[in-house]
């Protein structure tokens, strides 16, 4: 290899994704490279032209701009560009211009497509991050709670090997030992079963249940040999088998203990309790137990399983939307059970009401425990003097209970305990009319909260009537959308010059990426404006984007870009929080870039760039820059 080619080869080995290729392929790439030079200000790719190359920046810098001249992104040494136009058939949509004297390496498109087809890592790198089932979810954004939770449960049991569930070691005793001595052994060791042996060969099993059904019920002497009450024809299960197979075996044979074997050795005994404990972190199991809870203490205990449920779903590879939906379903169940407990305590309500929730819980996008946002819409026949005490008590019981369950009091006091958010329907309508007709800064803050409402208990017709009035008001006050669009641009993606991450300090911790404020929230805000513009009823972010597309308020590429971006950011955020919970650290939204792989960092930058692009489009469409 010549000196020049050797220098190119060494440089490429430090560039992603080429650094992950084998040496033979890297050398082939080095020999196929063409070197080009552009002076500062030169246009490298012009919109409307056909691109035939994949570019790597050797030195210098370039920028990508929109047709209106606004900067979309800037690239520096080792960055790659040109792949988007190649995947479109070569058509260039945005201008690429050198902002410094720039030296580029470029590969012919044939090399690029060959790498995509033959190397899974390169394909993954350039085609973006996708979690399991993401494609299906783009066409079916509405999840069914029962179907989802059942899927989570069956998938978890199918993937879980029984050897990971064993909590009870195998205790063996000779068949001649007395029943009384076996009872003492079981009490001392805490075991619920004993394996019965003869000449070190396992003959059967005796469980705690046998002492009731055989010893006490049949009046056997406590000095009888345990061999008389053991169950022979011992059933076992291999350590590699799934929890689902263990569950089926127990059900078919009506047993609660199943010895686990590996190469004919007994590792331990799997019990029905082990399987129940595994299910206790499962969304469908948790929700079922929550609705059966009789006391606040039981609800608090169940709520402590939510972090474990999050970890379990993340480890099982469920996508962010399904995971957030499950966590939200648990949160709604806790709200609903607290309301029912309140009604049991204080009696039936004197007038009809609707318990409403807002924020991520209402959008089915909740992650780990967050603060609570809720309110009460009361019947217009409500009389403060006659009915006020009842609803004050109900509101405090529920909100205090939520706080005990980990859903902390709202710092902004947006809760039903605040009289302002515990009002008759007519007053709620008055609130929205004021916010929409006179969109002042505080009104916009309230609007961003209360445009995401869901009724989870009581008279859903109250919220439907309120939403109907909101749509009518916005239709006759379109300027509200301009203000909402301007408000949606406050949280910008954390990208600086040359696509470098912009980190924020939080508390006493070191600077990090705010994945909620700078990642998820901007897309949520965009989707809200799109939804309001076409009077859409969904409040889930991805469902709003889908509805905006259905009503021609968003292009198909916009739908796919923003849904993919939202899923990716949400998935990264969930994984980050799951890792924190496992480490015993309080979960938050602040992520250190060093915790991500180079591939994930690249995709994260691409995702932030997508958000910035659509924020600029929204700004242009609603002239948001003109709003003071």
For residue 237, the enclosing domain spans 165-273
pLDDT in tens, 543-562: 999 999 999 999 999 999 99
450: how many CB neighbours lie within 10 A of its CB?
A: 22
Q: For the residues 614-625, what does the mean pLDDT come to?
A: 89
Residue linked to tokens 């899974």? 120
- E runs forming strands in 459-517: 513-514
510 and 455 inside one domain:
no
Would you state the pLDDT for residue 54? 94
In a domain, 492, yes or no: yes
Would you state the pLDDT for residue 136? 35
Would you state the pLDDT for residue 13? 86
pTM score, whole prediction: 0.69
Task: Report the chain's terminal Cα–Cα distance, integer Å.
Answer: 62
In a domain, 156, yes or no: no
35: how many CB neighbours lie within 10 A of its CB?
A: 11
Q: How far apart (Å, rounded) are the C-alpha atoms in residues 221 and 219?
A: 7
Q: For the residues 536-541, what does the mean pLDDT come to?
A: 91
Would you state the pLDDT for residue 4? 59
Identify the DSSP state of 596: S
Identify the DSSP state of 280: T
Q: How far apart (Å, rounded) are the C-alpha atoms in residues 171 and 186?
A: 9
In a domain, 409, yes or no: yes
83 and 175 inside one domain:
no
3-state secondary structure of 208: helix
Q: How far apart (Å, rounded) are the C-alpha atoms in residues 326 and 329?
A: 5
H-type alpha helices, 304-354: 306-315, 320-346
pLDDT in tens, 176-220: 999 999 999 988 888 889 999 998 899 999 998 888 778 877 788
Would you state the pLDDT for residue 269? 92
Buried b (16+ CB within 10 A) or exposed e, 78-97: bbbbbbebbeeeeebebbbb
400 and 332 inside one domain:
yes
Q: How confident is the model at residue 138 (pLDDT cuts 50, 70, 90)?
A: very low
Q: Quote the mean pLDDT of the chain.
A: 87
Least confident of 60-69, 124-133, 154-163, 300-309: 124-133
CATH of the domain at 380: 3.30.460.10
Q: For the residues 404-433, what does the mean pLDDT come to?
A: 96
Would you state the pLDDT for residue 472? 93
Q: How confident is the model at residue 148 (pLDDT cuts 50, 70, 90)?
A: very low
329 and 445 inside one domain:
yes
Per DSSP bridges, beta strands 201-207 and 193-198 are antiparallel
Q: How many CA atoms lie within 13 A of 627 on its CB side?
A: 23
Q: How many domains does the chain have?
A: 4
461 and 518 inside one domain:
no
In a domain, 298, yes or no: no
Q: How far apart (Å, rounded) are the C-alpha atoms in residues 517 and 530?
A: 19
Query: Judging by beta carbons within 10 Å of its beta carbon (0-12, 13-18, 19+), is residue 114 exposed, middle or buried?
Result: middle
Q: Tokens at residue 449, please?
A: 């909260």
Q: What are φ and ψ of residue 495, in 5° steps?
A: -120, 130
pLDDT in tens, 318-346: 889 988 998 999 999 999 999 999 999 99
Q: Is the pLDDT of residue 157 over 80?
A: no
Cβ atoms of 58 and 107 within 8 Å: the answer is no
Q: How confident is the model at residue 308 (pLDDT cuts 50, 70, 90)?
A: confident
In a domain, 619, yes or no: yes
489 and 463 inside one domain:
no
Would you state the pLDDT for residue 302? 92
Q: How many CA atoms lie within 13 A of 70 on its CB side?
A: 11
Would you state the pLDDT for residue 133? 37
Q: How far apart (Å, rounded) are the C-alpha atoms in residues 75 and 61?
A: 6
CATH of the domain at 193: 3.10.580.10
């Amino acid at each position: 290899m010549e000196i020049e080619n050797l220098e190119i080869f060494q440089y490429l080995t430090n560039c992603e994704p080429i650094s992950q290729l084998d040496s033979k392929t890297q050398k082939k790439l080095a020999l196929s490279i063409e070197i080009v030079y552009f002076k500062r200000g030169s246009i490298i790719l012009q919109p409307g032209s056909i691109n035939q190359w994949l570019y790597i920046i050797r030195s210098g810098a370039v920028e990508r701009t929109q047709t209106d001249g606004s900067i979309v992104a800037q690239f520096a040494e080792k960055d790659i560009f040109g792949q988007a136009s190649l995947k479109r058939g070569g058509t260039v949509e945005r201008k690429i211009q050198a902002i410094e004297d720039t030296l580029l390496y470029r590969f012919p498109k044939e090399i690029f497509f060959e790498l995509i087809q033959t190397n899974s890592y390169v394909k993954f790198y350039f085609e973006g991050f996708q979690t399991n089932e993401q494609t299906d979810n783009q066409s079916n954004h509405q999840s069914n709670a029962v179907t989802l939770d059942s899927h989570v449960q069956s998938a978890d049991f199918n993937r879980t090997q029984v050897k990971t569930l064993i909590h009870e070691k195998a205790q063996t005793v000779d068949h001649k030992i007395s029943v009384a001595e076996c009872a003492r052994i079981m009490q001392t060791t805490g075991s619920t079963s004993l394996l019965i042996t003869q000449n070190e060969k396992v003959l059967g099993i005796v469980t705690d249940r046998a002492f009731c059904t055989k010893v006490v019920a049949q009046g056997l002497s406590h000095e009888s040999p345990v061999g008389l009450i053991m169950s022979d024809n011992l059933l076992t299960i291999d350590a590699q088998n799934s929890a689902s197979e263990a569950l089926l075996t127990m059900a078919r044979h009506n047993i609660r203990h199943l010895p686990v074997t590996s190469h004919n050795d007994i590792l331990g005994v799997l019990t029905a309790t082990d399987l129940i404990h595994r299910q206790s972190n499962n969304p469908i199991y948790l929700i079922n137990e929550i609705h059966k809870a009789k006391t606040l203490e039981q609800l608090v205990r169940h709520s402590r399983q939510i972090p474990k449920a999050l970890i379990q779903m993340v480890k099982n590879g469920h996508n962010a939307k399904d995971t957030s939906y499950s966590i939200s379903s648990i949160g709604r169940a806790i709200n609903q059970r607290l309301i029912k407990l309140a009604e049991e305590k204080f009696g039936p309500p004197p007038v009809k009401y609707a318990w409403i929730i807002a924020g991520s819980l209402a959008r089915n996008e909740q992650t780990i425990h967050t603060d609570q946002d809720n309110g009460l819409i009361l019947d217009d026949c409500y009389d403060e003097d006659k009915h006020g005490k009842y609803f004050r008590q109900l509101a405090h019981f529920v909100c205090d209970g939520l706080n005990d369950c980990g859903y902390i009091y709202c710092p902004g006091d947006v809760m039903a305990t605040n009289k302002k958010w515990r009002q008759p329907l007519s007053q709620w309508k008055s609130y929205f009319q004021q916010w929409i007709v006179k969109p002042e800064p505080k009104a916009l803050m309230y609007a961003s909260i209360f445009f995401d409402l869901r009724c989870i208990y009581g008279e859903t017709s109250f919220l439907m009537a309120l939403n109907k009035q909101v749509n009518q008001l916005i239709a006759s006050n379109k300027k509200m959308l301009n203000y909402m669009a301007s408000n949606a641009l406050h949280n910008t993606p954390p990208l600086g010059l040359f696509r470098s991450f912009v980190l924020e300090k939080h508390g006493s911790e070191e600077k990090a990426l705010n994945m909620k404020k700078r990642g998820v929230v901007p897309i949520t805000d965009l989707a809200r404006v799109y939804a309001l513009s076409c009077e859409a009823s969904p409040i889930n972010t991805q469902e709003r984007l889908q509805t905006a597309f259905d009503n021609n308020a968003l292009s198909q590429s916009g739908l796919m870009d923003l849904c993919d971006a939202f899923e990716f950011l949400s998935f990264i955020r969930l994984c980050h929080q799951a890792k924190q919970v496992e480490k015993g650290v309080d979960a938050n939204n602040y992520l250190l870039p060093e915790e991500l792989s180079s591939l994930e960092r690249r995709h994260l930058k691409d995702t932030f760039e997508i958000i910035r692009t659509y924020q600029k489009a929204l700004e242009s469409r609603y002239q948001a820059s003109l709003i003071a």
